[in-house]
Structure 1
């Protein structure tokens, strides 16, 4: 639960966005750590830009009900068996700093964070890919337990492919994002499968219609793509 008196909407708004990790259980990291929160998901990732090293990532569903925050792990590259673990989260915060305490029956940890952005923008939110172009035609994807979620805050993005039922993690990538004049521009700062992608800049066209995001352009390999992402 939160340490100050906020409504559910106020608390969600205060938590959403991108956060820089200062300490975990009082210890500073040897590399960068970033936490992204856009309801109903939270992703936490550690990486080193200079060495192009992906250290690890964990994330899952976050729910804010009144003054209580709950979080359920849906992927964890450090500990696969942690998937499915439920945590109660206590938040103490001001505008630019927050302390989050995660507690479950068998695990607990505390993060001290400073704000990177407030999670504002056309594409701010958590999105799931639901349609993609194949052979020149848009086709709905069969939605099962495996999912690809892309989270966007005011200045950062991260996509993750995972299956919480099988506890399988398939990959992730992320970094900085800029939206301008109908263009979605991303600068990759970590990529779990291929560190050579780090440092790449990609630009796409985007349109938002209700809870649908139409994403089109050329992939990192130069092939034309068009995808529909649905807000979660």
Structure 2
């Protein structure tokens, strides 16, 4: 699937919109569309959207894009996004999305060159829900931290039992990798089940278990990564 590139007036409208927000008709959550063994996964909250495609069997990561929602008054019903990352940027140079949309009951219909129906998954609130930016390697010893002002970012987005991390650069639009799937977080135990992994499809199906603790509003995360290496990470809430 290829996204259309839109003309300058839409870009202007996106940039000049008064603040990020989601169309009142769209309920924040995770939406799924499965077509021909390809999963299309859409995560949306009040200000941000992530769209990811991956083949389920045999597993194969295809693409991911994400960014801040914007108002697009002149164009009517559209899901308008100012992208922050695009795994296909070297091929399509896409930094803005403006997608025709409709709501059919609770289902979201997007016209991605052809109309596709996304169904919301069951709501599931857990610890750690929300958007997080990687801050530093732990433990916390007052070391320098990577903040919002740093163009090199690793975002972790958790919603309705689904997680995704994305590493990227907002200045150069370089894309470094992503992975995601389902998660649980309860009583200090955080578990990830990997459904897609851009750097190595063979890791799909793995389950990773970690310890977590919230300290001063930050997420302290420890255990072993997908290579079996010990890690301690500190994640700060994205504001």
TM-score by length of 1: 0.76
**2:192 and 2:146 mapped to 1: Cα distance?**
27
Aligned to 1:3: none
2:85–2:169 contact (8 Å) kept in structure 1: yes
Counterparts of residues 1-232 of structure 1 (less than 5 Å): 11=24, 15-21=27-33, 28-63=35-70, 70-80=80-90, 81-85=92-96, 87=98, 90=101, 92=103, 94-95=105-106, 97-100=107-110, 110-118=115-123, 120-133=125-138, 137=141, 139-143=143-147, 144-209=150-215, 211-232=217-238
2:13 equivalent in structure 1: none
Are the structure 2 counterparts of residues 128 and 83 from structure 1 closer, same or farther at C-alpha, using a change threshold of 3 Å?
A: farther
d(CA) in 2 for partners of 1:39 and 1:219? 30
What's the C-alpha RMSD, in Å, of the aligned pairs? 3.0
Structure 1: runs of 5 or more not aligned: 1-7, 23-27, 103-107
Cα gap change, 1:90 to 1:53, in 2 (>3 Å): closer
Aligned length: 212
Aligned with 2:121: secondary structure? strand
- Write the deviation string for residues 118-142 of structure 1: whole angstroms up to 9, x where unpaired: 36222111111112127x9563333
Distance (Å, rounded) in 1 between the aligned partners of 2:110 and 2:237: 26
Query: Cα deviation per residue 1:185-212 (whole Å; 9 max; x = unaligned)?
Result: 0011111011121111101111234642
Please say if residues 59 and 74 of structure 1, whose CA atoms lie closer than 8 Å, have aligned partners that are also in contact.
yes
Note the C-alpha offset of 1:92. Answer: 2.1
- In 1: Cα distance, 2:204 partner to 2:168 partner: 21
Residue matched to 2:9: none
User: Which has the bigger relative contact order, CA under 8 A and spacing at least 6?
Assistant: 1
Q: Distance in 2 between matches of 1:186 and 1:93?
A: 32
